[in-house]
Chains A and B, each alone.
Chain A
Amino acid sequence: MSDLPSTVPEHKAGYILAGIPHAAELKLTVVELKAGEAVCKVPYAEHLIGNPDTRVIHGGVITALLDNTCGIAVGTKTRLQGQIATLDLRIDYMKPATPDQDILAFAECYKVTKNIAFVRGVAYHTDRNDPIATCAAAFMLGTKSQRGANVPGGG
């Protein structure tokens, strides 16, 4: 399906997020990248707090992290980075994030069709089997100028 190398050097991973203003605001970085899989990280920050009593990060940050990580996982399988759009995103919140700890997200793009990519993901601190949240998402491929253009090697 993909002829991408199984791992991507760090500078290449950084490049993917360099042009996304909101990802930069969250200090979102790509930690691991493989064909169909991505791991991203958002470091704990005071301005991301959702409840000042508990200092827990806002659910919206998890939403943004999962959405972006899923999009990157799709990008590794389609070469349409920047020309994909989230169609729907469902998130289940399992437990509050722990204050002062970085949040990681793993996403796996498990199916790509001509128009749609399907992804599942999980947000966690250190153990993927102890999730903060899980998600399932569908992405539209080839938005704008590249409609229906999921041709391997194209784009």
Chain B
Amino acid sequence: MEIIRRAIAEGKKPDLQQLVDAIPYCKFLGIEVDRKGTELTTILRFDKKLIGNPVLPALHGGVVGAFLEVTAVIQLMLEAESEELPKPVDIGIDYLRSGRPVDTYARAIVTKQGRRVCNVRAEAWQDEHTRPIAALHGHFLIKPRETA
């Protein structure tokens, strides 16, 4: 992506909010990035279109999964030296509580960074960080910088 290439050319990390905004699906979901130094929190602003169960009501499981996947990718963009957006190889999502119709937050940890594959864990929560609504673990393919 242009934003990544430009940042690499300038020897910087890409602006993660700009990166998210350049991805149509992330923009559609309404994902925001809150970066404080190396600490990253993603925010999924509640919107009616994210509802998967109107009876409860609850967020769509696919939305929560997608949000965690994006969080993992953004964390990798900060930590791993990848020329391209990391690609998911496999992900596993544990749904722990139903996602209520409020804002959701997530954070990811890169548990292992290999040359091509990275292991990442991510957790999403709403009001209380200690009561996660979903957790993801996944493997992502990165494209290492050739000149590195």
Residue of B nearest to A82 (CB): B55
Beyond A89-B93, A90-B92, A90-B93, whether A60 also contacts B62 by CB under 8 A is: yes
Contact yes or no, B98 A20, CB < 8 A: no
By secondary structure, the B interface counts as mixed
Whether, in the assembled complex, A86 has its beta carbon less than 8 Å from a beta carbon of chain B, the answer is: yes
Whether, in the assembled complex, B23 has its beta carbon less than 8 Å from a beta carbon of chain A, the answer is: yes
Flag B41-59 by CB within 8 Å of A: 1 or 0 each: 0000000111111111010
CA distance A133 to B137 in the complex (A): 17
Contact yes or no, B62 A66, CB < 8 A: yes
Residue of B nearest to A26 (CB): B62
Count B interface residues, CB 8 Å.
40
CA distance A86 to B53 in the complex (A): 11
* Segment of B8-16, B64-72, B105-113, B116-124 engaged in the interface with chain A: B64-72
Contact yes or no, B89 A20, CB < 8 A: no
Residues of A within 8 A of B (CB): 19-25, 46-53, 57-61, 63-68, 71, 82-83, 85-93, 96, 143-144
Residues of B within 8 A of A (CB): 1-2, 22-29, 48-56, 58, 60-63, 65-67, 69-70, 85, 87-95, 98
